[in-house]
């Protein structure tokens, strides 16, 4: 499995050696940084190397960065395990590794665990920092670290820790780390990813998460004062496109109905 990222080439043996020297003084931020560099390198992924990085992350010392974001971040091994898997899963080629370890089915639970563990102020702030990977996966970057929370349809469910409709609406309007005179909302970036990836579609998990987010957010989205006509048109375009993606677990009819409402609503906005 090949992963393309930064230009520096890390050999598997070098990365393995670094991962296996889990110095007691290393903290979680340092270990996640080293792991992210390996994942983003042009070196072929090696399960033994990734497993060694996992052990290093779980054995790492405390981190003020994680403590600032998460309740129990310093000592919560379940949280560190979840953040590790979410970091892996945020890469488009992660499915082979996760399938080999039998962890494909854990990502939704991992994402919910991370959301539940966020301190209230951190959760509120991260809603405005949503990023899209080149393949459209939605991720929340943990400030000051290479850790990131990959969003999953479970994050938009009715389960404990999942986003509310208002929070989902904020995610869609978030401009993340965008810069420039006209920074783009998450909705606009979804459209850009869709166009860039045609005829190849974005990641299937990305599509399901997009759909879940728009379905969860649509009622408050239609009422938010800051929503512009362009925002509403972007919402309608994304929703209408998702309605034609086969399959999205039977959501096509709902997507078309909501897209029609968005189109009608856009005519009322300046």
Segment 10-48, tens digit of pLDDT: 233 333 334 433 334 468 888 899 999 999 888 889 999
What's the average model confidence in pLDDT over 140-166? Answer: 96
What's the average model confidence in pLDDT over 109-120? Answer: 97
13 in a domain, yes or no?
Answer: no
Number of domains present in the structure of the chain: 1
Domain coverage including residue 91: 62-266
37 in a domain, yes or no?
Answer: no
Short-list 148, 152, 171, CA closest to 66: 148
Please tell me the least confidently modeled range out of 8-17, 159-168, 192-201, 256-265. Answer: 8-17
Short-list 35, 41, 37, CA closest to 55: 35
Range from 131-140, 189-198, 237-246, 249-258 that averages highest in pLDDT:
131-140
27 neighbors 68 (Cβ within 8 angstroms): no
More confident residue, 191 or 3: 191
DSSP state of 82: H
Return d(Cα 148, Cα 151) in angstroms, integer.
9
How far separated are the first and last CA of the chain, in Å rounded?
49
Short-list 201, 202, 188, 204, CA closest to 236: 188
Return d(Cα 69, Cα 246) in angstroms, integer.
37
pLDDT of 211 higher than 50: yes
Return d(Cα 175, Cα 68) in angstroms, integer.
23
What's the average model confidence in pLDDT over 173-192? Answer: 86
- Burial pattern 69-98, b for ≥16 Cβ within 10 A else e, equals bbeebeebeebbbbbbbbbbbbbbebbebb
Segment 123-152, tens digit of pLDDT: 999 999 999 998 899 999 998 889 999 999
CA 27 to chain centre: 23
**According to the model, what pLDDT value does residue 62 have?**
64
98 neighbors 85 (Cβ within 8 angstroms): yes
Return d(Cα 29, Cα 64) in angstroms, integer.
9
Segment 36-85, tens digit of pLDDT: 999 988 888 999 999 999 999 888 866 788 889 999 766 688 999 999 99
Confidence of residue 237 (pLDDT cuts 50, 70, 90): very high
Output the six-digit token pair for 168. 């989902």
High-pLDDT (> 90) share of the chain, % = 61
Return d(Cα 112, Cα 240) in angstroms, integer.
28
Output the six-digit token pair for 76. 């919560």
181 in a domain, yes or no?
Answer: yes
107 in a domain, yes or no?
Answer: yes
């Amino acid at each position: 499995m090949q992963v393309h990222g930064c230009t520096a080439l890390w050999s598997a043996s070098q990365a393995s050696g670094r991962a296996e020297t889990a110095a007691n003084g290393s903290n979680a931020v340092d270990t996640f940084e080293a792991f992210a560099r390996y994942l983003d390198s042009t070196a072929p992924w090696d399960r033994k190397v990734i497993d060694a990085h996992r052990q290093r992350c779980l054995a790492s010392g405390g981190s003020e960065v994680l403590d600032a974001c998460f309740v129990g971040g310093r000592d919560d091994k379940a949280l560190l395990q979840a953040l590790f898997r979410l970091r892996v899963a945020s890469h488009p080629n992660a499915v082979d590794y996760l399938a080999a370890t039998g962890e494909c089915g854990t990502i939704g639970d991992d994402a919910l665990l991370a959301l539940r563990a966020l301190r209230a102020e951190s959760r509120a702030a991260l809603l405005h920092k949503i990023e899209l990977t080149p393949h459209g996966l939605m991720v929340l970057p943990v400030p000051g670290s290479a850790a990131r929370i990959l969003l999953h349809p479970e994050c938009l469910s009715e389960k404990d820790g999942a986003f509310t409709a208002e929070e989902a609406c904020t995610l869609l309007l978030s401009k993340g780390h965008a810069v420039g005179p006209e920074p783009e909302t998450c909705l606009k970036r979804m459209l850009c990813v869709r166009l860039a990836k045609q005829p190849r579609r974005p990641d299937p998990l990305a599509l399901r998460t997009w759909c879940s987010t728009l379905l969860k957010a649509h009622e408050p989205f239609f009422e938010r004062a800051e929503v512009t006509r362009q925002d509403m048109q972007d919402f309608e375009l994304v929703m209408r496109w998702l309605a034609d993606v086969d399959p999205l677990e039977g959501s096509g009819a709902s997507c078309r109905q909501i897209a029609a409402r968005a189109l009608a609503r856009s005519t009322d906005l300046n």
